[in-house]
Chains A and B, each alone.
Chain A
Amino acid sequence: MIYRFLDGLGRYFLFLGEVFHKPEHWREYSKSFFKEIELLIFSSIGLVAFISVFMGAVLTIQTAINLGDPFVPDSYIAIAVREGIILEFAPTIVSLILAGKVGSNIASTLGTMRVTEQMDALRVMGINPASYLVLPKLFACLIFNPILIVFSMALGLVGGYYAGDLLGLVNTEIYLTGYFDDFDPFFVVYSLTKTFVFAFIIATVSSFFGYNVEGGAVEVGKASTKSVVTMSFSIILFNYILTDLLLQ
């Protein structure tokens, strides 16, 4: 098992070496980059928005119920919701969801390209398939996942506010002040740092599994599942490591 892990890790780094090979033609890569933004990022906005609003709402309800004491001001509920969303829910949970949606898309797309010989076609043309197919996806994720996460944070806070208001759980004026009380901007930096690392994991791990598919349609499905499992483990592990490094 250790041998298999080390072998896989070694092949992953060799794959990264191929990915970061100097691009043959920047213009073609940039065209591909804009396509990937549309395919991987814009198509995820609706899902991220939906999850974020309800995540914020649930967090407010749970916190309000748990802190349901007349001596605890509603601003404390808002602070708890804010920290929960910014520190953990937006970067980690949304990244896990993106790992499922975007990651499986990347793995199955590249896997299908592998088994239908499209990658061989690129190689015969003299185009490095790893670099041409993966680099635009990686840059799209690295640049736009943090933007999606900021968007998720904002919608989570909005969802929390409206849930508290509509259900009559909080005094909205006091609650709103809580969003701005003792705000530490470093928490956003921490959160975005995590997102950046998670985006790298999502783009490269899923690409690695898709790129190395051997066989047919069944193997493409297996690779997609394996990639989501590996990404989820990696995100949880790096979440712990980065939290330990950045917040201690």
Chain B
Amino acid sequence: MIRVQGLQKSFGEQHVLRGIDVDFHEGQCNLIIGLSGSGKTVFLKSILGLHATDEGSISFDGRILGEMSKKEVKALRQEMGMVFQGSALFNSMTIEDNVRLPLDFFSQMTPEEKAERVRFCLDRVRIAPEAFTKTPAELSGGMQKRVAIARAIVLNPKYLFCDEPNSGLDPETAIVIDQLIHEITHEFGMTTVINTHDMNSVLEIGDHVVLLEKGKKAWEGTMDQVLQSDDSAVVDYVFRSNLFKKVRAALKNV
């Protein structure tokens, strides 16, 4: 479980996170939603330790990030996987090398075991063997995202973080990526935290949904509760589009 308590972060005079308290549970897809500029990415990067926080604490199964030694943080990082918005694959490496990199640094596996693990992870995200020796630039956006997921899970992490994993993808591919993350989360019992704008993702895989507004937690609940909620923050964010207004009306009538 990841527990965030009183998290605050400012950049100069700009207060981006204004005291957020939230728990992310194991084996769940925890979705963070909110408008652009609501602090989602800063929140995620703060949990990852990429931004130093001003106030508050972040703990990973009881281990408080701010109180850990550098060695402990390094060990904790090996329990984390991250899928970046733009995939962040290394352009100079092949797909295989991209996925193998964390193993080369942090595992004691033999080269054969590493190759086997890389094959397993790429196969798990449905990347065909023909693509293994290609470079990221030779793959489509959806395939790049899948490779990024393979790289994120190669060390068998306890915590998976995804920053808008289906942004820029067509609806079909976006659903494939969502389902993949959902399956992997449940299969490996990971604590997954996903930043997203995509309401389809919320309704498909949102085991736990947190709505951020102006750097504060405005609402939290499950995907079913999102549709039933009368909370003004949820109504403002989720039911702006006519489609969701109709869905909500239909659900209310049922």
Measured CB to CB, the residues of A under 8 A from B are 24-25, 27-28, 35, 113, 116-118, 120-121, 123-127
**CA–CA, A127 to B90, complex, Å?**
14
Q: Is the interface of B mostly helix, strand, loop or mixed?
A: mixed
**Nearest CB of chain B from residue A111's CB, rounded to whole Å:** 13
**Structural contact, A121 and B74, CB atoms closer than 8 A:** no
**Structural contact, B77 and A126, CB atoms closer than 8 A:** yes
**Structural contact, A124 and B48, CB atoms closer than 8 A:** yes
In the complex, B249 has a CB within 8 A of chain A? no
Contact (A121, B78) CB under 8 Å given A126-B105, A126-B106? no
**Nearest CB of chain A from residue B108's CB, rounded to whole Å:** 11
**CA–CA, A24 to B77, complex, Å?**
13
**Structural contact, B105 and A35, CB atoms closer than 8 A:** no
Q: Which of B27-35, B79-87, B174-182, B219-227 contacts A (4 or more CB under 8 A)?
A: B79-87
In the complex, B127 has a CB within 8 A of chain A? no
User: Which of B77, B92, B104, B105 counts the most chain A CB atoms within 10 A?
Assistant: B105
Contact (A126, B78) CB under 8 Å given A25-B104, A35-B92? yes
Nearest-neighbor residue (CB-CB) of B106 within chain A = A126
**Structural contact, A121 and B84, CB atoms closer than 8 A:** yes
**Structural contact, A118 and B90, CB atoms closer than 8 A:** yes
**CA–CA, A35 to B97, complex, Å?**
14
Contact (A25, B92) CB under 8 Å given A116-B86, A123-B50? no
**Nearest CB of chain A from residue B162's CB, rounded to whole Å:** 12
Given A117-B85, A125-B78, A126-B74: 11 more A-B contacts, CB < 8 Å: A113-B90, A116-B88, A117-B86, A120-B88, A121-B82, A124-B80, A124-B161, A125-B101, A125-B102, A125-B106, A127-B105
Can you list 11 contacts pairing A with B, beta carbon distance less than 8 Å?
A25-B104, A25-B105, A116-B88, A118-B89, A118-B91, A121-B84, A124-B80, A124-B82, A124-B161, A125-B78, A126-B74
Which residues of B have CB within 8 Å of A113? Answer: 90
Nearest-neighbor residue (CB-CB) of A25 within chain B = B105
Which residues of A have CB within 8 Å of B84? Answer: 117, 120-121
Of the residues B50, B75, B105, contact of A124 by C-beta under 8 Å: B50
**Nearest CB of chain A from residue B156's CB, rounded to whole Å:** 13
Which residues of A have CB within 8 Å of B85? Answer: 117
Which residues of B have CB within 8 Å of A123? Answer: 50
**Structural contact, A125 and B88, CB atoms closer than 8 A:** no
Which residues of B have CB within 8 Å of A24? Answer: 105
**CA–CA, A124 to B75, complex, Å?**
11
Of the residues B75, B80, B88, B106, contact of A117 by C-beta under 8 Å: B88
Nearest-neighbor residue (CB-CB) of A118 within chain B = B88
In B94-142, the 8 Å CB interface with A consists of 101-102, 104-106
Which residues of A have CB within 8 Å of B88? Answer: 116-118, 120-121
**Nearest CB of chain A from residue B46's CB, rounded to whole Å:** 13
**Nearest CB of chain B from residue A156's CB, rounded to whole Å:** 33
Nearest-neighbor residue (CB-CB) of B104 within chain A = A28
Of the residues B75, B77, B161, contact of A125 by C-beta under 8 Å: B77
Nearest-neighbor residue (CB-CB) of A39 within chain B = B92
Nearest-neighbor residue (CB-CB) of A24 within chain B = B105
Which residues of B have CB within 8 Å of A127? Answer: 105
Which residues of A have CB within 8 Å of B80? Answer: 124
Nearest-neighbor residue (CB-CB) of B163 within chain A = A117
**CA–CA, A35 to B102, complex, Å?**
19
Nearest-neighbor residue (CB-CB) of B48 within chain A = A124
Nearest-neighbor residue (CB-CB) of B148 within chain A = A121
Which residues of B have CB within 8 Å of A126? Answer: 74-75, 77-78, 105-106
Which residues of B have CB within 8 Å of A28? Answer: 101, 104-105
**CA–CA, A113 to B105, complex, Å?**
19
**Nearest CB of chain A from residue B12's CB, rounded to whole Å:** 14
